Structure 1
Amino acid sequence: MSVLACTPSGVESNENEDLCLWAHSENEKGDMHGLVEHLRAVAALAAEFAGVFGAASLAWWLGMVHDLGKAAEGWQERLLALCGTRGSVGIDHKAAGARFAVERLGLWRFAMAVQGHHGGLESPVLLHGFLTSPDRDRSAEEQSIGRLSALVPELRDPTPPQWPAWARSDPLAGEMLLRMVFSALVDADYLDTQAHFRPGEASATMSVGMRELLSRYEDARGKQLANRPASAMDGFRSQVYDDCLRAAELPPGFFRLAAPTGVGKTIAAGGFALHHAVRHGMRRVVVAVPFLSVTDQNAKVYRDWLDADGSSRVVLEHHTAVNVESGPGGRWQRLAAENWDAEFIVTTTVQLFESLHSRTPSRMRKLHRLARSVIVLDEVQAIPVHVLEPVLLALRQLVEHFGVTVLLASATQPEFWHLPVVDGIEPVPVVSEPERLYDTLKRVRYRWWTTPKPTLAEVAAEAAVRSRALVVVNTTDHARAVLTGWQASTSSADVRHLSTRMCSRHRLDTLDEIRALLAGPGDVLVVSTQLVEAGVDLDFPVVYRAIAPAESMLQAAGRCNREGCLGHAGGLVVLFDPVEIGCPPSYAVPLHETRKAFGPSAGKAELDDLNAFATYSAAVYSSLNPTERGQAVVDARREWDCPRVTDLFRMIDDQSVPVLVDYRPTGDQQARDRADRVVAAIRRGRTPRPHELRHLQPFLASMPRTRALRDDRAVPLIGDLHVWNGRYDPHHGIDLDPKEH
């Protein structure tokens, strides 16, 4: 019986032949998916994706052999037997292609992409064990190769592919190339399979073009300047924006946007990114921010400017708190979120860097889209120090080998450029004279309240005397204590609370309420943990900040007199050292260096001394050894040990667990109903799909893991997700008061 390829409709290409090879079962039209057709389509698409970074030949071969094992007689018989059942074949089809890649193409490490194109990248050791296992059916693998070689001439006498020289000499660079070609392969595989089963979803993307986006952006900025009331900050904002446009003309690389809060860094960074992309032919802009509240805020700004009428699929907002299937353009949002096939993306630093260090196809499909893009890292000082080395290494590799430009934006620029992982890199300063700008824009004065140390009750009482004040503390318990003090007082002020004891939707709703209150005439008191510090556009005349690392205190000061409207005296920032002890463990080293460098004592600097801050920041990173900066992740990458990389790389401290709470947003009952339906399905024993879990994200708060495990009000639901059956307070969220029992 001879072998042949088959047309997409399932009609044999030669009526004298009597055997077809299939890749997938019939679609809704009843058409089978030809194997050779699938392999060639995936190879071509993967080569197109990887050609952006010089690896087209490598990706083409990985695409051509990835499903080679499906040609085996046993696999084909099983597929046909399952037609119409949606059942899984259950026979390995990865080994034949992986073996071909190793033995006939010399791709002994890149064959990991073939082995892992369904389950995820493994390691060279595990690949060797996989191919040499006594359980392998070598005869079926050889049969597959032989059958397809009869149909695909390239398989008969293959020419090993070429790939960039920089990936051959450096194991770490080669490992990053593996990640990128794996991304190209699995995205191409998914897209071609999707085109067979759901052809209507195959063309969800619409390119607007960077020039058109830039035109829209500049038009929107001009209209905003023309229509809004004048501000004392306008001249400085224009200066920073103009500096960004000048820097955008420079060659791709690392850039630093250092400017005080309130000068429009979000707008300026977007302008830099779009102008730079147009100037250098780059494909997309990716804006990554550390906190969900900032992601939501920034995405709205960019969407309003780039897609004001909602007619185009332009700005993709991809993070865990977004329900990507609801609202206008929901289907496109869902599809684009899977592989970032969009021209302007707003995401979180967690989503970006955990994807770069992941091993699974679903997380890594998007990575090849980063090539030739502009990545804006907003609030870059928030990168956790325990992953600093792998993050900096990944950024360096993207810039040096994948045509990426990285813009680091922050009012408190970290000084980590002396570390070996970024040796030799000198980022280009975007703002021409940052010291003069900071000196000119001193909008606050500082008062240190450290001797004697005040209690939280005393801080709350003094703040309550003010008509408007923001108090920022280091722990959720401290925030609750301040709120309780205000609620017990006779003050007529509106009081609000922000912390991770509130679910993300509750926090976003509360921020909207605070902005509305600040726009009115009444008194407003707000207490928050540090989540309010980065990029949240609140403006108070007085800010109280518990002693914390210098960058956190400076970020809090950025919420004071943000618009510069308080005259010569400026705003007041009170830095207090509370009697009550408590702060995140990550504060230990930077807080020690802060106490050494800043304070009211003789010989110590004022908090806004830029030179002192640079010295302090460098000292913080130097005081940490490579292990504390995440060197173990880099070592695992050097060995191409992908499971170990993923296990070690955790941007968020896993000492907390997500807790689903009973928060009911005003005016959006549908969102809550969707979440409740997912919970009901889980309780009936059904495993939720990823898009269903996203319905839960707006209603998740966090609790310390140890506390959740011993509190019977936190009931396990699935994995480490718990449901909070205790009281959820409308002001402060999860009520951990033991008296509730």
Structure 2
Amino acid sequence: MTFYAHSGNQPDRSDWQLLPDHLDNTARLAAERAEPRGLAAAAALTGRYHDFGKYDPAFDRVLNDGNVRVDHSTAGAALLHARASGAMRLVSEVLCYPILGHHAGLPDRTGADSSMERRLAAFRDPIDPAITAAETPDLTPAAHELVARVRGESLGFDLSLATRMLFSCVVDADYRDTEAHYAQLNGRIPDRDWPTLAELLPDWRRRFDAHMAGFAPNSDLNHLRADILSHVRGGATLPPGLFTLTVPTGGGKTLASLGFALDHAAQHGKRRIIYAIPYTSVTDQAAKIFRDLLGDGVLEHHSAIDDEKLARGDKLAPEGKEKLRLAMEDWAAPLVVTTNVQLFESLFAARPSRCRKLHNIAGSVIILDEAQCLPRKLLLPTLRMLEALCAHYRCSVVLCTATQPAFDSRQLEQGLLLEGRELAPDPEALARRLRRARIVQGGEMDDPALVAALRETPQGMVIVNSRAHALELFNAARAEGLEGLIHLTTRQYPAHRRAIIAEIRERLKSGAPCRLIATSLIEAGVDLSFPRGWRAEAGLDSCVQAAGRVNREGIWPVEDSTLTVFSAPGRKVPREVEKAASTMRNVAARHAANGGDLLSPAAIRDWFEDMYWKAGPDRLGLKLAKAMIADFKTTNFPFRTTAAEYRMIETAMVPIIIRGDAAAQKSMDALGVEAIPPAQLARALQPYTVQIPARARELLIRNGHASFHHPELRGDQFCVLDNHSLYHGDTGLWWEHAEYLGEESWLL
């Protein structure tokens, strides 16, 4: 009997893919991806047996009738497990995880019916014994590779990460070979080719040098920025690993970190640069800066359009549709700009769609912008992951921030070894030299008090803790007739926010009235400079970032450039924000004797130490970190449970597309063109998406104000706001009206 992996178009099966060919191709491609990670033999073996279950004669019915289901993911794992004994049993289990999970996702070791133990125990082999007997897998080379990927003090965590890397290599190889088969059938070869970082580095470094040379050292600030850049780039020759870059706002740390990454990659042969940012709202801005500076080769990727839904959009043969996910990002680009959520949730994920990129994270320079924003409840597993990536997968990680958190092992039990790895020249001296503003305490300030303060300030900003508060305060200020009033919030789509920020800059530059009411999105990487500002109580890290938007260029006297921190009576804030604000108040009280300088390195250090040390390891994610440490009688890894628990954002937010301009309309029209891949459409539409609560989008759809466009082709991927009157030019999307706008749209 002839066995096939994938169907084709011809009735005589002349264009169907033979199963041995697919297994050979996947093994080869997986080994190619794993070779730089030191896991080539393990990946080849995993790839060779990932679809071994397709030797089941019943699978032929799957290829003829897409509605038939046959488990073809268990047989290969069962074969490897049965052939292993003694110490090799652990090796076979490591390989079983990616084989079992290459469609459904990495399983837990025990528990649900989908767990490794239950699937292997329930397996009844339907494959001809002669086919199975002909297989002679050798686990010894894979064992040697895995031993080299673990350290004694963190054996379990390291082995779980090696399993994830194997999973990524095999999933990507499987998808690529499947994609190539169907692309040949359909005559449409997807454009997946990116130049390598090594090919681009000479030109990128020349561009970077030319750009930086254009900044004339005509001021003390520019001289200082040039000194910082030179010192940071000088650290590029240091051995790869973990680094800190502590530069106050205004010191040019974004470009300095990029300069380091380019030089470090050239010095040590790094394969790509990954720039991770806490907020989706800032990734588009950073990506634009890098594209303008470096040209092609920059990929912007975050969760504005869900990757897994993208995968269901391609209209292919039934069996191929299940696997072929053209739109999933594999991060093959030489420079990736992404969010912390996308980066870290992928590293702890179980789904193939999220894990496919992991092997391309290996060998990277990873810049963690605003590193202090890493969530406290997940801190310890996050730090373990960064440490393991550097120890075993040739990564270098730069913790880049104006307020260096207490991640060092000298400050935080189970922290990172960071002593001697600071890239900036004398951070404490930099803090003094780059001081541009003061933080003062304002006590309670309700909305009328804030409006009154803005009335007395032709150019000023107020930052609050929620979109709802920002909208209410803006409406109150507008009712009072304040001139030059501007609202900035994630209610607005990114392209709209960019236009608003450009208007703010122009007003500030010209001296025109500019009174901004915003959420915290402007605190990370948005280059604005106000004479004065007000910030609702939050963590000291947030307040320091907000202070960085006051007198950023040093135009006004420091004593007049104030950020007033206030409490907003009657405004409910998340428990984590309240805890951070309470800690800030305590630190302010302790430092009152020294003038209460909350921008001093000593105050910032105290705040971080209080936040981390006093929280205790259990509140820093110790339980989750320990969960990935196996008992080594078995590889007891709870991959699926970990993925469910490692969530940086608790509230489910979903995207909705706004008809922003002609470019947005053109991309929406293209939704009906089958030949255009979903990923291409998603990237084009990302600047026009707003993230809203899932329930709010459901209400918009139910009441006829939004719908999924071209569902026959795209499924439930692209939800578009059809009632554009809900989007306001000054305040963005008002989804709150959705619940009341059934038949009564006249209420608008």
Q: Scaled by the length of structure 2, what TM-score is found? A: 0.83
Distance 2:189 2:667 in 1: 28
| Residue aligning to 2:320 | none
CA distance, structure 2, for counterparts of residue 363 and residue 625 of structure 1: 31
**What residue identity is the alignment partner of 2:171?**
V
Is 2:656 the partner of 1:660?
A: yes
CA distance in 2, matches of 1:354, 1:361: 12
AA matched with 1:533: E
Match of 1:113 in 2: 98
Matching residue of 1:259: 247
1:4 equivalent in structure 2? none
Corresponding residue number in structure 2 for 1:581: 571
Alignment of 1:13-412 (within 5 A): 19-26=1-8, 31-75=15-59, 77-78=60-61, 81-82=64-65, 87=66, 90-105=69-84, 106=89, 107-125=92-110, 126-133=115-122, 136-138=123-125, 140-141=126-127, 143=128, 146-147=130-131, 150=134, 154-155=136-137, 161-162=142-143, 163-165=145-147, 166-167=149-150, 170-199=155-184, 201=189, 204-210=192-198, 212-223=200-211, 225-226=213-214, 230=218, 232-307=220-295, 312=296, 314-321=297-304, 338-412=329-403
The amino acid of 2:732's aligned partner reads: G
User: Match for 1:448: what amino acid?
Assistant: Q
Q: CA deviation at 1:539?
A: 1.5
Measured after TM superposition, the shift of residue 375 of structure 1 is 0.5
Provide the residue aligned with 1:430 in structure 2: 423
CA distance in 1, matches of 2:500, 2:359: 37
- Letter in structure 1 aligned against 2:663: D
Give the deviation of 1:567 after TM superposition. 5.3
Q: How far does residue 667 in structure 1 lie from its aligned partner after superposition?
A: 4.2
Determine which of 638, 643, 647 is the counterpart of 1:641: 638
Number of equivalent positions: 685
Change in CA separation of 1:335 and 1:700 when aligned onto 2, cut-off 3 Å: same
Q: Helix, strand or coil: the match of 2:650?
A: coil
Deviation, structure 1 residue 722: 11
Question: Tell me, which stretches of 5 or more residues in structure 1 are unaligned?
Answer: 1-18, 327-333, 682-687
Give the conservation status (yes or no) of the 8 Å contact 1:112–1:127: yes
Tell me the residue number matched to 1:517: 507
Q: 1:128 to 1:161 in 2, by over 3 A?
A: same
Residues 123-156 of structure 1: CA distance to partner in whole angstroms, max 9, x if unpaired?
A: 22211211221xx432x13x2x632665x7x55x
- The structure 1 residue matched to 2:547, chosen from 547, 553, 557, is 557
1:331 corresponding residue in structure 2:
none
AA aligned opposite 2:488:
L
Gap change, CA 1:709 and 1:649, over 3 Å in 2: farther
1:467 aligns with 2:466: no
Q: Which runs of 5+ in 2 are unaligned?
A: 311-324, 630-635, 708-715, 741-746
Tell me if the contact between 1:254 and 1:427 (Cα under 8 Å) persists in the aligned partners.
no
Distance 1:220 1:335, change over 3 A: farther
Change (3 A) 1:522 1:677: farther
CA contact (8 A) 1:504 1:701 kept: no
Q: Could you tell me which residue of structure 1 aligns to residue 711 of structure 2?
A: none
d(CA) in 2 for partners of 1:62, 1:267:
41
Instruction: Report how far residue 438 of structure 1 moved.
Output: 1.1
User: Quick one: structure 1 residues 322 and 262, their matched pair in 2 at CA, closer, same or farther if it must change by over 3 Å?
Assistant: farther
SS at match of 2:407: coil
Q: Higher RCO, 1 or 2 (CA under 8 Å, sep at least 6)?
A: 2
Go from structure 1 to structure 2 and tell me whether the alpha carbon gap of 1:587 and 1:568 turns closer, same or farther (over 3 Å shift): closer
281-290 vs 694-703, greater mean Cα deviation: 694-703
Partner AA of 1:132 in structure 2: A
Query: How far off is 1:396 after superposition?
Result: 1.2
Q: C-alpha separation between the residues in 2 aligned to 1:100 and 1:321?
A: 41
Q: Distance in 1 between matches of 2:544 and 2:640?
A: 38
- Aligned residue in 2 for 1:329: none
The CA deviation at 1:379 is 0.8
Provide Cα deviations, 1:360-405, integer angstroms capped at 9, x if missing partner. 1111110011111110000111112122122111111111121111
Other structure's SS at 1:339 match: coil
Instruction: For 2:22 and 2:700, locate their aligned partners in 1 and report how far apart those are by CA, in whole Å.
Output: 52
Residue 118 of structure 2 aligns to a residue in which SS? Answer: helix
1:428 Cα offset (Å): 0.8
Distance 2:438 2:369 in 1: 26
Q: Distance in 2 between matches of 1:401 and 1:422?
A: 18
- Paired with 2:503 and 2:227, the residues of 1 have a C-alpha distance of 32
User: Is the 1:210–1:274 Cα contact (8 Å) retained in structure 2?
Assistant: no
Could you tell which deviates more after superposition, 456-465 or 509-518? 509-518
What residue in structure 1 maps to residue 476 of structure 2?
Answer: 485
Shift of 1:190: 0.9
- Of 524-533 and 508-517, more deviation after overlay is shown by 508-517
Q: For residues 582 and 627 of structure 1, do their structure 2 counterparts lie closer, same or farther at Cα, with a shift above 3 Å needed?
A: same
C-alpha distance in 1 between matches for 2:615 and 2:139:
50
The amino acid that maps onto 1:319 is H
Aligned-residue offset at 1:626: 3.0
Q: Identify if the C-alpha distance between structure 1 residues 578 and 66 changes in structure 2 by more than 3 Å, giving closer, same or farther.
A: closer
Distance 2:328 2:389 in 1: 21
Task: Identify which range, 465-474 or 335-344, moves more after superposition.
Answer: 335-344
- Partner residue in 1 for 2:633: none
Tell me the residue number matched to 1:8: none
Partner residue in 2 for 1:538: 528
After superposition, the Cα gap between the structure-2 partners of 1:501 and 1:209, relative to the gap in structure 1 and judged at 3 Å, is closer
Change (3 A) 1:490 1:425: closer
Distance 1:565 1:218, change over 3 A: farther
Q: Which moved more, 1:513-522 or 1:342-351?
A: 513-522
> Which of residues 402, 414, 437 in structure 2 aligns to 1:444?
437
Separation in structure 2 between the aligned mates of residue 338 and residue 27 of structure 1, nearest angstrom: 28
CA deviation digits over 1:262-291, x for unaligned, max 9?
222111111111111111111111111011
Q: Does 1:651 align with 2:648?
A: yes
Q: 1:168 to 1:255 in 2, by over 3 A?
A: closer
Q: Distance in 2 between matches of 1:463 and 1:429?
A: 40
Q: In structure 1, what is the Cα distance between the partners aligned to 2:378 and 2:528?
A: 30
- Are the structure 2 counterparts of residues 603 and 264 from structure 1 closer, same or farther at C-alpha, using a change threshold of 3 Å? closer
SS at 2:102 equivalent:
coil
User: What amino acid is the match of 1:559?
Assistant: R
Range that drifts further, 480-489 or 381-390: 480-489
Q: In the alignment, is the contact (CA less than 8 A) between 2:301 and 2:338 conserved in 1?
A: yes
Q: Distance in 2 between matches of 1:705 and 1:26?
A: 41
Letter aligned with residue 97 of structure 1: G
Contact 2:243–2:421 (CA under 8 A) maintained in structure 1:
yes
Aligned CA distance change for structure 1 residues 146 and 605 (closer, same or farther; 3 Å): farther
- The answer on whether the counterparts of 1:214 and 1:274 sit within 8 Å (CA) in structure 2 is no
> Counterparts of 2:617 and 2:718 in 1: how far apart (Å)?
30
Query: Are 2:731 and 1:732 equivalent residues in the alignment?
Result: yes
